[in-house]
Amino acid sequence: MLTVLRNRTYRRLFTAQVVALVGTGLATVALALLAYDIAGANASVVLGTALAIKMVAYVAVAPIAGALAGRIPRRALLVATDLTRAGVALALPFVDQVWQIYLMVLLLQAASAAFTPTFQATIPHVLPAERDYTNALSMSRLAYDLESLFSPALAAVLLTLVSYNWLFAGTSLGFLASAALVLSAVLPKAPAAERAGGVYAKALSGTRMFWATPRLRALLALDLAVAAAGAIVFVNTVVVVREHFQRPAGAVSLALGAYGAGSMLTALLLPRLLARVSDRAVMLPAALALPAVLGATAVITAAPPGTAAWLALLAAWALIGAASSAVLTPGGRVVRRSAADAELPAAFAAQFSLSHACWLLTYPLAGWLAAGAGLPVTALVLGAVALTAALGAVRLWPRRDPDALDHVHTDLPADHPHLAGARPAPAGAWSHGHRYVIDRNHRSRPRHA
């Protein structure tokens, strides 16, 4: 898997991603402490609102960023968003009002919503070979999981030496280092077709692509299943550990570490597995496992909080991490397979936006249910959401799903470049077959597909 780091451009981009993630992790810890300093006992309300703002920024900004990615050189866009994030991080220590926190979070996450899908759309051009791209996706998954484990530990060490305001300086340095690494990389030039079309049309094209492509509709359903399971981990772990099991604060990190360990182990195994079986054969069973684990979580949290139940919870969190990784890691392959090179920024932006819309639904659902109905009911409801989404994905993703499709064009003139080599069909139409993706020449899937 590490062989992809021999590619100089990818090595610099991956390093940029890692240092930016570490900076983001430091900012998460520092922001929580800043919110407590400003809001005191209402800090949880401030952080909950900030999380909602983050998700809204992701959902709203990503499609626009995907449209602009074809009009602005990718390297310039990536560097500009890193510099924006660095500037916001430097400004955060001077914040002394709650509304200022919300404004800074909005700016920070809007820049992240522009950076991430543009970065994701660049990697397939840097690593065009399927095997290399699969390895890169696993590397990215590992980077996210390691950040979730490493950044809090690094923050804890730094806080023994300096005040939390200095963590924002570390965040800024991370983004500046990311910008420098991106600036030093030679990125492939975006296809000319990527720069065509208006911003509004491009912003909507990725979403249209998702609705018109069965496997992408299935991917969205799979994202909802992962969000339902992930929400109970990220929102309710502290309540499960501290209130139900009466365990110390360090046990919260242990539970989240179990989730991360399951995710990382799966990410390490996936490249070899995906070399032998299809994305569908990996992703659908993993998604169907999630509601079963959530059902087990309902039983665990309803049982007396003994040692056996605690170990069972750690196992459940590890299984959720493993199944989520098995769904999320190959997702980039599915998007890449479903979009033309020129449409990759719009496709990844749509995937980024729509997947975070799922989290925007499940995050508050997990919080409200836990507070009002208890943890077992929360696990059962989220399990029902995950089951519905997983079964929907099974139905939406055809078992026979070829890349190349025979189809007929009735709306293109005979001299159109796309019809080169096509065969005449009845009623003045033209027939041919090729790798089929939704674009300006193909607005919907053939009915027989």
pLDDT tens string 24-64: 878 877 877 787 788 776 665 676 677 778 888 888 877 77
What type of residue sits at position 284? Answer: L
CA angle 334/386/266 to nearest 5° reads: 55
Percentage of residues of the chain with pLDDT beyond 70? 89
Specify whether domain 1-190 bears CATH 2.70.98.60.
Answer: no
- Which contacts (CB < 8 Å, 24+ apart) does range 362-371 have? 362/224, 362/227, 362/228, 362/230, 362/231, 363/51, 363/52, 363/55, 363/231, 363/234, 363/235, 364/52, 365/231, 366/231, 366/232, 366/235, 366/236, 367/48, 367/235, 367/236, 370/235, 370/236, 370/239
pTM here? 0.81
Determine the average pLDDT of the residues in 424-436: 77
What type of residue sits at position 401? Answer: D
Q: pLDDT (tens digit, 9 = 90+) per residue, 281-330?
A: 999 999 999 999 999 999 999 998 889 999 999 999 999 999 999 999 99
Where does the chain hold its CATH 1.20.1250.20 domain(s)? 1-190, 200-401+416-449
pLDDT, averaged across the chain: 84
Residue 203: per-residue pLDDT? 59
Residue 226: per-residue pLDDT? 96
Residue 373: per-residue pLDDT? 87
Q: How confident is the model at residue 85 (pLDDT cuts 50, 70, 90)?
A: very high
Contact by Cβ (8 Å): 123, 10? yes
Is it the case that residue 194 has pLDDT exceeding 50? no
Contact by Cβ (8 Å): 38, 98? yes
Residue 249: per-residue pLDDT? 67
CATH of 200-401+416-449, one of 1.10.260.40, 3.40.50.300, 2.60.120.620, 1.20.1250.20: 1.20.1250.20
What letter does residue 420 receive in the DSSP assignment? T
Pairing of strands 429-435, 423-425: antiparallel
Contact by Cβ (8 Å): 438, 444? yes
Q: Which residues make Cβ contacts (< 8 Å) with residue 269, sequence separation at least 6?
A: none
Q: How confident is the model at residue 389 (pLDDT cuts 50, 70, 90)?
A: very high
d(CA 222, CA 393): 6
Q: pLDDT (tens digit, 9 = 90+) per residue, 133-143?
A: 888 888 888 88
Is it the case that residue 87 has pLDDT exceeding 60? yes
Q: pLDDT (tens digit, 9 = 90+) per residue, 261-291?
A: 899 899 889 989 998 999 999 999 999 999 9
Residue 45: per-residue pLDDT? 65
Q: Which one of 14-28, 206-220, 293-307 scores highest in mean pLDDT? A: 293-307
CA angle 180/184/189 to nearest 5° reads: 120
Phi, psi torsion values for 64, nearest 5 degrees: -65, -40
Contact by Cβ (8 Å): 283, 330? yes
Nearest to 389 by CA among 440, 344, 355: 355
Residue 67: per-residue pLDDT? 66
Name the token pair of 322: 């493993």
Residue 433: per-residue pLDDT? 77
Tell me how far CA of residue 11 lies from CA of 2, 119, 176, 186, in angstroms.
Answer: 10, 13, 17, 11
Contact by Cβ (8 Å): 66, 346? yes
Helix (H), strand (E) at residue 407 = strand 404-409
User: What is the three-class DSSP state of 246?
Assistant: coil
Q: pLDDT (tens digit, 9 = 90+) per residue, 335-386?
A: 888 887 777 777 888 888 888 889 988 888 888 888 788 889 999 999 999 9
